[in-house]
Amino acid sequence: MKSGKERVVATTILGIRRGGKAALGCDGQITIGERVMKHNARKVQKIYNGTILAGYAGAAADAITLFERFEAKLEQFHGNLRRAAVELTKDWRMDKYLRRLEAILAAMDRDYSLVISGEGEVIEPDDGIVALGSGGAYALAAAKAYLDSSKLDARTIVRKSLEIASSIDVYTNDKIIIEEL
C-alpha cells in the first residue's frame, strides 16, 4: 500500500425487501491487506427491539461506533428509521471524530431500505436493494436478476446473490449470515 496504512476490505452486504419481508445478509470474511483475518464475522444484526436490520462495510471499530450512535438515534426518534438516519448523518458530518470513521451502514425495515454514509448521505435506492462493500455490485446484479426472474423469497435471494458474489470477489467468502424481518 502506498500510504503505509493497510486498507481494511471488510465485507459484502446485501439487503432486499420482498413479499412483506426484509432480509439483510453479509459474508463473514474480514481481510486486511492481502490476508484473510477472520472467516465468520457477523456484520449484520437486528436492532431497535428486532424491528430494524443493520449492516456495515468498513472498519469494524468504526462501524460499531456508528451502530451505537444509530441505535441511540433510533431510540430518540422512536424507531423512525428515516429520521434516525438523517439525524445520524447530520452528526456524522459535523463531528470531527465521527468524520474520520471509515464505515458505511445499510439499514432496513419492512418499508424502507437505506444506505447511510459518512459523506452525509442517506440514500434510499429506487429498487429497495441495498448493496455495500467489495462484492456489493456483484450481489446487487444477482439480486436484480433473481427479483426479475423468480418467485424466490427475500432470504433465498440474499443467500444466492451473496454466494454468487463470493465466487467472483476475493474479499467475499461463502460464510453467509442473514437476518430477516
Q: Which residues are catalytic?
A: 11
Q: Which amino acid is at 152?
A: L
Cα–chain center distance at 5 = 24
DSSP 102-171: -EEEEEE-SS-EEEEETTS-EE--TTS-EEEETTHHHHHHHHHHHHHH----HHHHHHHHHHHHHHH-TT
Instruction: Sort residue 141 into left (φ over 0), alpha (ψ -120 to 50) or beta.
Output: alpha
- Which helix (H) or strand (E) is 12 found in, with range? strand 12-18
Query: Which residues are CB-contacts of 91 (< 8 A; sequence separation ≥ 6)?
Result: 69, 73, 98
Burial of 73 (0-12, 13-18, 19+ CB in 10 A): buried
For residue 27, which phi and psi values (nearest 5 degrees)? -85, 175
